[in-house]
Structure 1
Amino acid sequence: MLVELIGVNKHFGDLHVLKDVNLTVSRGEVVVVLGPSGSGKSTLCRAINRLESIGSGRIVIDGRELPEEGKELARLRADVGMVFQSFNLFANKTILDNVTLGPIKVRGMAKDEAQTLARGLLSRVGVADQAAKYPAQLSGGQQQRVAIARALAMRPKVMLFDEPTSALDPEMVNEVLDVMTELAAEGMTMIIVTHEMGFARKAADRVVFMADGAVVEQAPPEEFFSQPRTERAKDFLSKLISH
């Protein structure tokens, strides 16, 4: 197991947003987390690299429990790449500098080596010709692909995606999903919170369905979409289909 969540609970004040969550993700597995708004999906994703603290339970990455703070947390967090809804690129740095910053500052990579790595990754996500530009000069879809390259530059063991296409114009969604589909095919371990059902069917090894802070159901995508076992999942899917 590469990622393990054991009895994870999280409260925001009186609101119980993660309820005794148990989840394991194997090396090379692609897990898509679905569920209605407010079900705890994004909080789960952010808790896996301690962007959100947890109230109780354990989170283990590649056999090592996530500490709450300090240098050890920084080291473990470097193994967990994260791509957000908003691109979070540094506006005052070129695309190339955005991608090389982490490897140089955190991994201690030489600048030449980091630039070679970054150019290769920018090529891989289809924006090699944008390296000298600044984020504001790129489309949303291009910026999100740069964000994926930036996360990959850290050579993470697992990639987390928190609704990576929700802020994009519809015509830009597929260019980002195509990059993610390629990563899945190459064996990258991925945990993806998304509303893109077509992507979930095509790329996921397993669908995890959450509601009201709990994992309600999990199954291979074809089984989940064609024969959901719980009434909560059936209701969720029926609303998607009816709209």
Structure 2
Amino acid sequence: MTEAGGSSPLVKLEAVNKHFGALHVLKDIDLSVARGEVVVVIGPSGGGKSTLCRTINRLETIDTGSITFDDQRLPEEGKALAKLRSEVGMVFQSFNLFSHKTIMENVTLGPIKVRGVSRQQAEQRGLELLERVGIASQAAKYPAQLSGGQQQRVAIARALAMDPKMILFDEPTSALDPEMVQEVLDVMIGLARDGMTMLVVTHEMGFARRAANRVVFMADGQIVEQGDPDEFFTTPRTDRARDFLSKILTH
């Protein structure tokens, strides 16, 4: 997908390969994400989706190929890497909140430590973001006092607090009880509507249909198919995608 005006994509992966020992988890991946685009990555477990997601902010290194973010190759280490990670937010399966810090402290820690924002400014912005994700009343509590869905919404607010150019979501609802899934997806749908660039690895097909600009189907370490959500879900082009959809959409 290219953007109006022809500006370069925010993220570009070219011929990316990654091995874990003898296992070839990413095989010649070519993928671009435009600014403001929501790309949803789906596919069977073990297909390389989470690894793909984690290479974009260098939580996983790659063996060959190249990844650029905002027209710069991903940095190796040091301050440049810290800067990249402040610009590419990440929301994990497990919430990764600091259990000994309050919700407000979790959300404001990054802006204060990394961005050098004053505590007062960070807390004001933190309250706005907690309001946005619907849990401003929980600001003084600790993570253990919140439900899983609330903790994941804190994790989203924490990512937003760094004012990122993009947020990566690695199966953000898979650790949640079913009744909590929708509250997190609603926040993500709101972000998508507001124009946040997002790459989302998920099993939530309803979210993919509603919020994605593009669906990328991965299996066996490769991008098998990608396209418009309506087309993908109604008329998948490959046997592999048809087989996958026939199994999950009947449940």
TM range, normalised to the smaller chain?
Answer: over 0.9
* Structure 1 residue 12 corresponds to structure 2 residue 12: no
Q: In the TM superposition, what whole-angstrom CA distance separates every residue of 1:92-120 from its partner, at most 9, and x where no partner exists?
A: 00000000000000011111100001000
How far has the Cα of 1:222 moved from its partner? 0.2
In 2, Cα distance between equivalents of 1:114 and 1:194? 30
One-letter identity of the residue aligned with 1:212: D
SS at match of 1:88: coil
The aligned counterpart of 2:141 is: 133
How far has the Cα of 1:241 moved from its partner? 2.6
One-letter identity of the residue aligned with 1:52: E
Mapping for residues 142-153 of structure 1, pairs under 5 Å: 142-153=150-161
- Count matched residues: 243
The aligned counterpart of 1:220 is: 228
In 2, Cα distance between equivalents of 1:68 and 1:20? 21
In 2, Cα distance between equivalents of 1:127 and 1:242? 34
RMSD of aligned C-alpha atoms? 0.6
Mapping for residues 30-179 of structure 1, pairs under 5 Å: 30-179=38-187
One-letter identity of the residue aligned with 2:77: E
Quote the sequence identity (%): 72
Instruction: Specify every segment of 5 or more residues in structure 2 that has no aligned partner in the other structure, as ranges.
Output: 1-8
* Structure 1 residue 194 corresponds to structure 2 residue 202: yes
SS at match of 1:23: strand
Q: In the TM superposition, what whole-angstrom CA distance separates every residue of 1:66-113 from its partner, at most 9, and x where no partner exists?
A: 022221111111100000000000000000000000000001111110
SS at match of 2:249: helix
How far has the Cα of 1:184 moved from its partner? 0.2
Q: In the TM superposition, what whole-angstrom CA distance separates every residue of 1:158-207 from its partner, at most 9, and x where no partner exists?
A: 00000000000000000000000000000000000000001100000000
One-letter identity of the residue aligned with 2:39: V
Q: In the TM superposition, what whole-angstrom CA distance separates every residue of 1:189-242 from its partner, at most 9, and x where no partner exists?
A: 000000000110000000000010011100000000001001110110011133
Q: In the TM superposition, what whole-angstrom CA distance separates every residue of 1:110-169 from its partner, at most 9, and x where no partner exists?
A: 111000010000000000000000000000000000000000000000000000000000
The aligned counterpart of 1:24 is: 32
One-letter identity of the residue aligned with 2:55: A
In 2, Cα distance between equivalents of 1:91 and 1:227? 45
Normalised by the length of structure 2, the TM-score is 0.96
* Structure 1 residue 182 corresponds to structure 2 residue 184: no
Instruction: Specify every segment of 5 or more residues in structure 1 that has no aligned partner in the other structure, as ranges.
Output: none
The aligned counterpart of 2:4 is: none
Normalised by the length of structure 1, the TM-score is 0.99
